[in-house]
Amino acid sequence: MLSFLINRLWQSIVLLLIVTVITFFLINLAPGGPASLMRMDATAEERAALSERMGLDKPVIVRYGQWLGNTLTGDLGESLSSGQPVIKRVAERFPNTVQLALYTLIFSVGAGVILGIISAVRRNSVSDYSINLFTAVGLSVPAFWLAIMLIYLFSVVLHWLPSSGVGTGTGIEKFKYMILPVLILSTTTLPTIVRFTRSSMLEVISQNYVRTARAKGAKEWSVIYYHALRNALIPVVTVIGVLVPRLLGGAVITETVFGWPGMGRLIVEAAQGRDYNLVMGVTVIVTFIVITTNFLVDIIYSRIDPRVKNF
């Protein structure tokens, strides 16, 4: 167990370092900068003074070394646009994104596994074809277009759900603000989980041990849920770790369309404002979340499948 943890920790550190190097150099070598967003009548001297005050007049490699040294001490710097600490700005938005992602993941996994089982058990039936059509549409329709259509239908025409914001109430009133964003974010995860569950279930239910369970007189629901489902979930659990980055990436579009104050909107604002420190802070935190999620998936994977011995 100790050797596995040390190996994963080393891999995580290397991966995090590579991501920060690529991100830092790309955003700093891109044309423009915070000084380019000053008022149009600003002189060249004023722009140069701003760059010097922010430390942007130094070579990129020097700035990266300074940023890395500060980050190792827990200091992600100050936002160039607002002057607030990066960690404070992230802390304001992070809970909203986690809440949205968590509800989306719960809904996607719950509905995706159930639909995948139905599609596999009733192969080549009307239910199977309908579910396959649903997943194909979900993967094909652009999220921003579908979001606008749902806002028009449920907010403008029917007046059932709010069109944007997070709400200030509690219970049902607050939950209403999450329904549309969760549905849109689910289009990036639900179809994939349905397809993986269906494919895995079709493979498992054709195995000899499933036939043996049926031959012994076990009820069909017992064969499906107790004998087949556990082994069928192995690739599903694995793909969840792959879907987390897609879920966080999809949040950029979803949060922008629905005015959801989360990490997605924050990264858009940081990129538009050439806020280098904020971009790097969000990148580090999101990368850390992805690494941690993959680590947890490995643990769950080893518990579901006894043949996998990571520990």
The confidence score (pLDDT) of residue 249 equals: 60
State the Cα–Cα distance between residues 267 and 278, nearest whole angstrom.
8
pLDDT over 80 (residue 250)? no
Sequence-distant (6+) residues with CB within 8 A of 155 are 161, 162, 163, 180
Q: Contacts from 173-178 at CB under 8 Å and sequence distance 24+? A: 178/99, 178/100, 178/103
pLDDT interval class at 36 (50, 70, 90)? low
Distance (Å) of CA 175 to CA 114, 171, 301: 23, 6, 32
Per residue in 76-92, pLDDT tens?
888 877 778 888 888 88
pLDDT over 60 (residue 34)? no
Give the Cβ contact number of residue 157 at 10 Å.
9
Mean pLDDT for the stretch of residues 13-42: 72
pLDDT over 80 (residue 108)? yes
The residue type of 55 is G
What are the backbone dihedrals phi and psi of residue 309, each rounded to the nearest 5 degrees, phi first?
-120, 85
pLDDT interval class at 130 (50, 70, 90)? very high
pLDDT interval class at 3 (50, 70, 90)? confident
The confidence score (pLDDT) of residue 84 equals: 83
Sign of CA dihedral 290, 291, 292, 296: positive
Mean pLDDT for the stretch of residues 178-207: 88
pLDDT interval class at 107 (50, 70, 90)? very high
> Which domains are seen in the chain, by residue range?
2-72 (no CATH), 86-304 (1.10.3720.10)
What DSSP string runs through 35-99?
Answer: GGGS-TT--HHHHHHHHHHTTTTS-HHHHHHHHHHHHHTT---B-TTT-SBHHHHHHHHHHHHHH
- Pair 20, 280: CB distance under 8 Å: yes
Between residues 178 and 248, the one the model is more confident about: 178
Mean pLDDT for the stretch of residues 247-258: 77
Put residue 275 in one of left, alpha, beta given phi > 0 → left and psi -120 to 50 → alpha: beta
pLDDT over 80 (residue 57)? no
State the Cα–Cα distance between residues 16 and 60, nearest whole angstrom.
19
pLDDT winner (highest mean) among 147-161, 213-227, 242-256, 283-297: 147-161
Structure tokens, 236: 């599903």
- Pair 294, 310: CB distance under 8 Å: no
Structure tokens, 166: 């997070």
pLDDT over 60 (residue 22)? yes
Q: Which of 236, 211, 227, 214 is nearest to 114 (CA)?
A: 236
Q: Which of 87, 91, 90, 97 is nearest to 262 (CA)?
A: 97
Per residue in 213-234, pLDDT tens?
878 887 877 888 877 887 788 7
pLDDT interval class at 115 (50, 70, 90)? very high
Between 65-69, 197-201, 209-213, the lowest mean confidence (pLDDT) is in 209-213
pLDDT over 70 (residue 51)? no
pLDDT over 60 (residue 56)? yes
pLDDT over 80 (residue 54)? no
State the Cα–Cα distance between residues 236 and 193, nearest whole angstrom.
6
Structure tokens, 253: 């579009």
What are the backbone dihedrals phi and psi of residue 78, each rounded to the nearest 5 degrees, phi first?
-110, 145
C-alpha triplet 91, 96, 102: angle, nearest 5°: 120
pLDDT winner (highest mean) among 37-46, 180-189, 300-309: 180-189
Mean pLDDT, the chain, integer: 81
